Amino acid sequence: MSRSTLLSLGGLALLAVLPALVRNPYVLHMLILCLLWTVLGQSWNLLGGYTGQVSFGHAAFFGIGAYTTGILVKSGLSPATAWWGLLLGGLAAAAASALIGWICFRLRGPYFALSVLALAEVLRLVALNWKQLTNGAEGILFIPAFNSKAAYYWIVLALAALSMAAIRFVMNGKLGFYFLAIREDQDCAESLGINATKYKLISLLISAFFTGVAGSFYMNYMGFIDPGIVFSIHDISVMMILVTMLGGVATTWGPAVGAAIYILMSEAFRTYLKSGHLVFFGVLIIVIIIFFPQGIVGTLKETLQRRQRRLAGPQASSPAKGAA
Amino acid sequence: MSLLELKGVTKRFGGLQAVGHMTFAVEKGEIFGLIGPNGAGKTTVFNVINGFYAPSEGEILFKGERIDGLKPYEICRRGLARTFQVVKPLARLTVLENVMVSAFSRTDRRDEARAMALEATAFTEMEAWRDRTAGSLPLGMRKRLEMARALATKPEILLLDENFAGLNPAEVEKTIAIVRKIHESGVTILIIEHNMRVIMSISQRLLCMCYGERIAQGTPQEVANDPSVIEAYLGAANA
C-alpha cells in the first residue's frame, strides 16, 4: 500500500471517531455539510476538471437524486427504508445524464454546458407544476429516520470516502488517461484511438451518479425539499463549480478543501455580515480567480514542486543538452 | 492488394475544392512521399485518410476495406496512425503519459501501457524527456513526441505530416535515422515533407500535388525533373 493511501485511511479513521469527541450538533451539522459538498465537488471535478466538460447545471442531477428519495417516502416508504433512495437517486440521475450527454457530446463547445443548465431549469419547472408527483412548491417534508446527527455524519463520511476512492481509482487507469487526453485536445485524442463521445459520456455518468447520491442524502438528512432548493442554479450548480475552483480544479484534494472553506466562509459571512454575505462571497471568488487561478490545492502543489526542483538543482529540472 | 488506396478522392469545403480526384496507392513496406507547394492540399489528404473529414467523393481502402466515413478512433484502431504538422501535445501530461494514452488503444492495463510507452519513447530516443510535461518541450521534441505517440498505437502505416519542419540540421539527421528505424521495423510510411533533401533521400516513390490535384508521380528523380513540378514550385519561367 502506498504512503498516500495509508495517510488517507488514517485520516478517514480520525474523521470516523470525531463524533465521539464533538457533541455539539451545530458543529456536526457543519461537518456534514462539508462532507456533502466534498462529494458534490468531487463529482463536478471529474467531469469539469479532469475531462474538461464544464457543466452549469449539475443541480439537475442533485435534484433528481433528492426527488427520487422524496417521492419514495411520499408514496409510502418509511424514511428508514428510503435509504434505498441513495442508490436509486444516483441511478436516476445517471439515466437523465445519459440522455443529455448522448445528445450533446457529439458536439463540442458550449452546447453541453448550456443544455444541462437548461435541463436543470426545465426540471425545476416540472417539479413545481407536477403537483401529484412532487407536491409542487409546497415541497416534500418528512421526519428524518435518525435523531442523532452522528449517524448522518458517518453515512456522508462513507459517501465522501467512497466517491473520492472511486474517482481516484478511475483516474489511475485507462479511463483517467482518456479523460485527460480529451480535456487536453479532443482531435488528438480521437486520432490516438479514443472515442471521445463515449468517454465523455462515461465521465458524465459517474459524475451524475455521485451527484444524485448526494442529492438523495440531502433529502434524507434535511427531511425537506422544494424545487427552488434542489434545482437551484446559484445554490447548487454554481456552488459546485466554485467549491471545485476554490480548492483546485483537477486535484484530488481540491474539492474537499474547497468544500470546507466554502461552508465555513458562508457560515461566517452569514453570521457577521447578515444580508451582505453574498457580496463578500462574490468578492472572494474574484480574488481567488485572479490571484490563485489554480485554486488552493493547485497553488500549494505548484509551490511545492517549484521548491523541490530548486532543491534538486538545475540538472534535474531539464534533461542534459546532449539528449536533444 | 495495396495497403492504402485512394480512388478518386475529392474534398470540397463549400465551393472550394481542396483535394480533387486524388488517386494513388501505397504499397506495404514502402516510404511514399507527398510533396507540393503550400496550400496544395497535402494535410487535407491526411485529414481525409484519418477520418477527420469524410471525402466529398471517392473511396479510401485500407487493407482492402473501405475506411472512408469511419471515425478517426476507429481508423486508428485498424492500424493507421498519424502525426500532426501543427503539433498537438497533451500539454499538461508528461511525455510518458502522452505516449501511454495512445498505448491504451492496444491494452486496458496500466502496466502494459506503461511498458509500451517506455518502449516507444526509447525507440524515438526520448528517454531523458519522459517526465517533462509535454507543454514544456522545445519544438524538436514535440515533433518527436508526435512520432512516439503514433508508434505506441502499433500502426501498420504511419502518416508523417512535416515532422522535419523547424528542426535544426542535427535534429533533421536524428529524425531521418528514427524514420528509417521505424520503416525497418516493418511500418509503411506516408510522409508529407517540404525539405527536399530529406524527402528525396528517404522516399522510394513521390507524388507531387498542386491546387488539390496530382501533377506528377514516380521515383524522386522522375518527379524532381518533371516540368510541371518545377513550374509549380518556381513558376512558369523556369520550367
Per the domain annotation, does B118 fall within a domain? no
- Predicted confidence band at B151 (pLDDT cuts at 50, 70, 90)? very high
Contact (CB<8Å) B101/A194: yes
- pLDDT (0 to 100) of residue A310: 79
> Span B38-57, mean pLDDT?
94
Rg (CA), chain A: 21
Strand order across the beta sheet in which B65-66 lies: B16-26, B4-13, B57-62, B65-66
Q: A169: nearest CA in chain B?
A: B110
Whether A172 and chain B come into contact, CB under 8 Å, resolves to yes
- pLDDT (0 to 100) of residue A17: 84
Whether A1 and chain B come into contact, CB under 8 Å, resolves to no
Out of B88, B97, B141, the one facing A188 most closely (by C-beta) is B88
Per the domain annotation, does A3 fall within a domain? no
Domain that holds residue A95: 8-312
Which is more confident, B236 or A85?
Answer: A85
Alpha-carbon distance of A252 to A50, in angstroms, equals 10
Whether B92 and chain A come into contact, CB under 8 Å, resolves to yes
- pLDDT (0 to 100) of residue A123: 96
B145: its cell numbers: 513526441
- pLDDT (0 to 100) of residue B67: 95
Out of B81, B90, B105, the one facing A185 most closely (by C-beta) is B90
A61: its cell numbers: 442531477
Per the domain annotation, does B55 fall within a domain? yes
- pLDDT (0 to 100) of residue A41: 96
Nearest to A83 by CA among A108, A65, A109: A65
**What are the tens digits of pLDDT across the range B202-227?**
999 999 999 999 999 999 999 989 99
Backbone angles phi, psi at A139, to 5 degrees: 80, 180
Domain that holds residue B239: 1-70+193-239
Question: How much of chain B, in percent, has pLDDT values that exceed 70?
Answer: 98
- pLDDT (0 to 100) of residue A281: 73
- pLDDT (0 to 100) of residue B19: 94
**What are the tens digits of pLDDT across the range B112-150?**
999 999 999 999 999 999 999 999 999 999 999 999 999
Contact (CB<8Å) A193/B127: no
**How many domains, in total, are found in chain A?**
1
- pLDDT (0 to 100) of residue A323: 37
Per the domain annotation, does B140 fall within a domain? no
Q: What is the mean pLDDT of chain B?
A: 93
Judging contacts by C-beta atoms under 8 Å, the chain B residues touching residue A320 are 128
> Shortest Cα distance from B154 to chain A (angstroms)?
11
Q: A193: nearest CA in chain B?
A: B73
Alpha-carbon distance of A243 to B78, in angstroms, equals 43
> Span B145-173, mean pLDDT?
94
pLDDT along chain A (324 residues), means of 10: 82 86 89 96 96 95 95 82 84 95 88 93 95 90 85 94 95 96 94 95 97 95 93 90 90 92 85 75 81 87 84 51 37
Whether B29 and chain A come into contact, CB under 8 Å, resolves to no
Judging contacts by C-beta atoms under 8 Å, the chain A residues touching residue B117 are none
Q: Does the pLDDT at position B65 exceed 70?
A: yes
Per the domain annotation, does B20 fall within a domain? yes
- pLDDT (0 to 100) of residue A320: 41
Q: Contact at 8 Å (CB) between B8 and B19?
A: no
- pLDDT (0 to 100) of residue A144: 83
- pLDDT (0 to 100) of residue A95: 96
Instruction: Tell which of B73, B82, B132 to mutate to test the A interface (max A CBs under 10 Å).
Output: B73
Burial of residue B92, with CB atoms counted within 10 A of its CB: 0-12 exposed, 13-18 middle, 19 or more buried: middle
Contact (CB<8Å) B93/A180: yes
Whether A178 and chain B come into contact, CB under 8 Å, resolves to yes
Whether A114 and chain B come into contact, CB under 8 Å, resolves to no
- pLDDT (0 to 100) of residue A316: 44
Per the domain annotation, does B223 fall within a domain? yes
Per the domain annotation, does B175 fall within a domain? no
Q: HEC states along B109-137?
A: CHHHHHHHHHHHHHHCCCHHHCCCEHHHC
Per the domain annotation, does A324 fall within a domain? no
> Shortest Cα distance from B81 to chain A (angstroms)?
7
**How many domains, in total, are found in chain B?**
1
Per the domain annotation, does A111 fall within a domain? yes
Per the domain annotation, does A123 fall within a domain? yes
Q: B139: nearest CA in chain A?
A: A324
Judging contacts by C-beta atoms under 8 Å, the chain B residues touching residue A316 are none
Out of B76, B92, B125, the one facing A192 most closely (by C-beta) is B76
Q: HEC states along chain A?
A: CCHHHHHHHHHHHHHHHHHHHCCCHHHHHHHHHHHHHHHHHHHHHHHHHHCCCCCCCCHHHHHHHHHHHHHHHHCCCCCCHHHHHHHHHHHHHHHHHHHHHHHHCCCCCCHHHHHHHHHHHHHHHHHHHCHHHHCHHHCEECCCCCCCHHHHHHHHHHHHHHHHHHHHHHHHCHHHHHHHHHHHCHHHHHHCCCCHHHHHHHHHHHHHHHHHHHHHHHHHHHCEECHHHHCCHHHHHHHHHHHHHHHCCCCCCHHHHHHHHHHHHHHHHHHHHHHHHHHHHHHHHHHHHHHCCCHHHHHHHHHHHHHHHHHHCHHHHCCCHHHC
The CATH number that applies at residue A236 is 1.10.3470
In single-letter form, the type of residue at position B22 comes to M
> Shortest Cα distance from B36 to chain A (angstroms)?
24
Per the domain annotation, does B144 fall within a domain? no
All residues at 6 or more sequence positions from A324 whose CB lies less than 8 Å from its CB, including other chains: B138, B140, B141, B171
Strand partners of residue A177:
none
Contact (CB<8Å) B104/A323: no
* Secondary structure element (H or E) that encloses residue B229, with its range: helix B227-234
Out of B81, B92, B100, the one facing A184 most closely (by C-beta) is B92
A251: its cell numbers: 486535484
Out of A180, A187, A318, the one facing B88 most closely (by C-beta) is A187
- pLDDT (0 to 100) of residue A276: 73
> Span B164-190, mean pLDDT?
94
Alpha-carbon distance of B228 to B137, in angstroms, equals 40
Contact (CB<8Å) A178/B72: no
Per the domain annotation, does B169 fall within a domain? no
